[in-house]
Structure 1
Amino acid sequence: MRKLLSLFLFTLFVSTSLFAQLNRDQYLKLESALGEGSFFNGHLSGFMLYDLDSQTVLYEKNSHQRFIPASTTKLFTLFSSLIVLNDSTQTLRYVTEGNRIKIWGSGDPSWKYKDFYQPAIEALIAPYEQVIFSDANMMSPAFGYGWQWDDYYYNYSAERSSLPIYGNLVHVKKVGNAPTVFPPSFQADVFPTNRTIREVERDFHSNKFYYNPNNFRGREEFIPFISSPELFIKLASDATGKNWAYQSDSLPAIHQEWRGAPLFPILKEMMLESDNFLAEQLMLMVSDRLFQRLDTERAIEYMLKTYLYDLPDEPQWVDGSGLSRHDLFTPRTMVALFEKIYRMVPDQQLFELLPAGGKVGTLENSYKADQPYIFAKTGTMSNNHSLVGLIKGKSGRYYCFAFMNSNYPWKASEVRREMEKVMLMLREMI
């Protein structure tokens, strides 16, 4: 029996090892597609293909090199959120004193933002005559380290704050040749201009908004506003019908905490639509849960020293969204991170979180096929484009990959087209 068992295990090992390898012709095809003389040889490009079943690297090219990951950074945020936050958001902390309630935000982004389940803040404060708000627990600045300054009026660069409302965005609708904005309290600060602009643009230093009636298109629906304690208490007062006041008090050791909204819809929106604001607020909530203070840098340090200490190459990770050019990861680190997520998240939930080629999310218009074969997080900023996730081969099996590109002089659409050729070829191989 021992001999038969040994023979069976040996046969299983050999067959698994053979199944997990590319043959010579397949290897040479990938070398030709990614190596010297290929499109990807004209810039820094890295690739890794990994068999999740046999835990074997099938192919790699420059997988040790560091790349600017852009929004694939959100995979780090996803992992951290799943580990620390569990199933719900961390909305706020509070203390009560007679007819007063004092509130410290915990980073929850859902209040009046998109179609998320709404935390019942009005119900929480209803029994109290006075609402005091403090942001003394907010340690991270409104903008992350290494963000581009001239992104300030694009919706993907909304400010971080301890208790956001409306996603820290002004909603713009075109009515005739003029914009109508929401919340309506901003309408008085919308002015016409003769400048040759086609959308509403915000002043760099203030919440004043400008549009040209002759050129206004109204295609940009959301514009970030500059957050401040004074503006927040005005918006919160308008939204709840209660008078809020600001007082920068430290969070006392003895207090109550309130968890407000289901976490999964926020994670799903962050991943499918690559929502930077959600990613940043998620890392603030992670920090709040860990340290009772909103400090993204400290939360990242904690995750790297605990749950992510064993990644093959130490990441340079500085924000939740990937807006920073200081983020630097290697393809093999991205694969190792994705494997952690893959082992932790049930398959059905994982596929709900990942954009699918030709179907949903940021891959809706690329990697099209009769049946989706790419399920992955995208990451794009000028001169950088990456894709990390799963590829389904013609065998029906799933493999993990990381495909990262930096320092190219072409449009990202051209890089995506060439990547798609490689992935289609790979699908036929595996």
Structure 2
Amino acid sequence: MKNGWWIASSVGALAVVVGVAGLGINAQINSLNHPPAYTVAAPTEIFQPVQAQAEVDFTQLRAALETAADDPRLGRFVGQIRDVDTGEIIWSQNPDAPVRPASATKILTAAAALYELGWDDTIATDVVAGDTPGTVVIRAAGDVTMSQEQLDDLAEQLEGQSIDTVLVDTSIWSAETFAPGWERIDIDAGYIAPVEPVMIEGGRIGGSYGDLPRTHTPALDVAKALADRVGADDTGKGTATSEALVLATTESENLETRLRRMMEESDNVMAEAIGREVAQHRGEPTDTASSARLTMDILEQQGFDLTGVNIVDNSGLSFDNLITPRLLDDLLHAAATGDTLRPLLNTLPIAGGNGTLIDRYEDLGGAGWVRAKTGTLTATSALAGTVTSDRVYTFAFVSNGSNILDARAAMDEMATVLREF
């Protein structure tokens, strides 16, 4: 059966939840903070796929879903649920209504990147010889998750060079690094950083994961970090010619791995960077608005209906983004039934297990069986993903004009209806 691979992986996801719970982790709920993602080794694939029934009567399930959707905690609530095997839409409520999606926007960003770049895409960052003796230039190429280990490796490759100046060339991307409508206070809050084409761990200060404060000068920080390692005194921005001699190079993780981190942590910096990477690959402008329009263009070219949809960034940080639940569900259904977007499902947080869902579903039967992208802005909550029961379902829920924690709880309960039916 075409969906069996994913059902088996969802059963394995439950083992992940059990393992995480055994650690006794008590994550504090904060309506706008996303907890760090936890990584657990993948379980041995010993589970057999669940076979969908040939016929199923969704009447009782629809009734239960309609009751759940009528919960006043959900505010202005829209959504859609589909049975993966048959493609039948088994419940919907204003699915074509454009609503504020928050970080559910990242589903669009991830899908466009998979279509354009492929799951195995990586980014190579070179350090090249500068125009003057003793100068090297980091040729930024879009890797915003550079690690301390990568910097150590670059420094080792540069051993024996007499270096007194380290520059960084950020010209591959637009000079616009901060979009209209974003708030500068969100840099120190850990939600965003000036979007430049090279950063250390998304520009975080003091760690590698979570909503830690971000730097205001991410590219220069990379130059400074490398300069410290090679004993150089001066740093700054500069340019490197395409013919410059490559002295050292480092490669990012592949796109699927980066998307998983982006989705699990709901990392806005990574989403904006991946959107710009796609635009650069296409030879299109890489400012925020242009890269967001390109995301929509790519999805439309793939046959998705974007009627009423308008996004102005790739992260969902803007309050001006509008997406329909039908589009979110269409993308998830395409991932569940086709090869190109299939890696998208593996990037989704696991209910009660990791990422932005680690502290949810504690007392719900959906724990371990729901995988979904969250979304949170003021008076906005979203949840879109998959549920495995005797069948596999895709769903997209968006609540506007509601209390965040109340809406989250109600959506989690509604997703659990799918699991327990």
Shorter-chain TM-score range: 0.7 to 0.9
The offset of 1:281, in angstroms, is 2.3
Equivalent residue number for residue 260 of structure 1: 251
3-state secondary structure, aligned to 1:311: coil
Distance of 1:371 and 1:380 partners within structure 2:
20
Q: 1:168 and 1:32, CA in 2 relative to 1: closer, same or farther beyond 3 A?
A: closer
Identify the residue that residue 360 of structure 1 maps to in structure 2: 354
Q: Which amino acid aligns with 1:225?
A: T
Would you say the 8 A contact 1:111–1:119 is kept in 2? no
Q: Are residues 1:51 and 2:86 paired?
A: no
TM-score by length of 1: 0.71
- CA distance in 1 between counterparts of 2:93 and 2:249 reads 47
Select which of 172, 176, 196 maps to 1:161: 196
Give ranges in structure 1 of 5+ residues lacking alignment: 1-14, 173-181, 183-219
Following superposition, the deviation at residue 254 of structure 1 comes to: 9.2
- SS at 1:402 equivalent: strand
**Residue 132 of structure 1, CA deviation:** 4.0
List aligned pairs for 1:181-192, cutoff 5 A: none
2:27 is aligned to none
CA, structure 1 residues 285+129, in 2 after alignment: closer, same or farther (shift >3 Å)?
Answer: farther
Q: How many residues align?
A: 356
Is 2:395 the partner of 1:404? no
Tell whether the 8 Å contact from 1:112 to 1:167 is kept in structure 2 after alignment. no
- CA offsets 1:294-352 (integer angstroms, 9 cap, x no match): 444433333322343322234312223211112211000101122233323697x5554
* Cα drift, residue 400 of structure 1: 0.3
Distance in 2, Cα, partners of 1:392 & 1:255: 53
Partner of 1:70: 102
d(CA) in 2 for partners of 1:118, 1:78:
27
Q: Deviation digits for residues 260-279 of structure 1, max 9, x if unmatched? A: 12224322222222222222
| CA spacing shift, 1:165–1:365, aligned 2, 3 Å | closer
RMSD: 3.5
Q: Structure 2: which amino acid aligns with 1:29?
A: A
Tell me, in whole angstroms, the C-alpha distance in 1 between the residues paired with 2:331 and 2:167: 41
Match of 2:216 in 1: 226
1:332 aligns with 326
Separation of aligned partners in 2, 1:274 and 1:268:
9
Which letter maps to 1:107?
G
55-64 or 81-90, which deviates more: 81-90
Contact map agreement 1:137 1:251 (CA 8 A) in 2: no
User: Cα–Cα, structure 1 residues 426 and 341, in superposed 2: closer, same or farther, change >3 Å?
Assistant: closer
Do 1:103 and 1:132's aligned partners in 2 also have CA atoms closer than 8 Å?
yes
Is the CA contact 1:376–1:387 (under 8 Å) kept in the aligned structure 2?
A: yes
Partner of 1:92: 125
- Answer 1 or 2: higher relative contact order, Cα 8 Å, separation at least 6: 2
Which deviates further from its counterpart, 268-277 or 291-300? 291-300
Deviations 1:343-397 (A, max 9, x none): 23697x555422111222211222243862211111111100000000122x2x2
Letter paired with 1:90: I
Match of 1:344 in 2: 339
Q: Aligned match of 2:371 in 370, 375, 379?
A: 375
Give the whole-Å Cα distance in 2 for the aligned partners of 1:267 and 1:142: 21
Query: Does structure 2 conserve the Cα–Cα contact (< 8 Å) formed by 1:47 and 1:401?
Result: yes
Deviations 1:77-107, CA, capped at 9 Å, x for gaps: 2223333154243243666568665443112
Shift of 1:133: 2.5
Task: Note if 1:22 corresponds to 2:68.
Answer: no
1:386 matched residue in structure 2: 382
- Which of the numbers 309, 312, 316 marks the counterpart of 1:322? 316
What TM-score, normalized to structure 2?
0.72
Distance 1:146 1:373, change over 3 A: same
Structure 1 residue 134, shift from structure 2 partner: 2.0
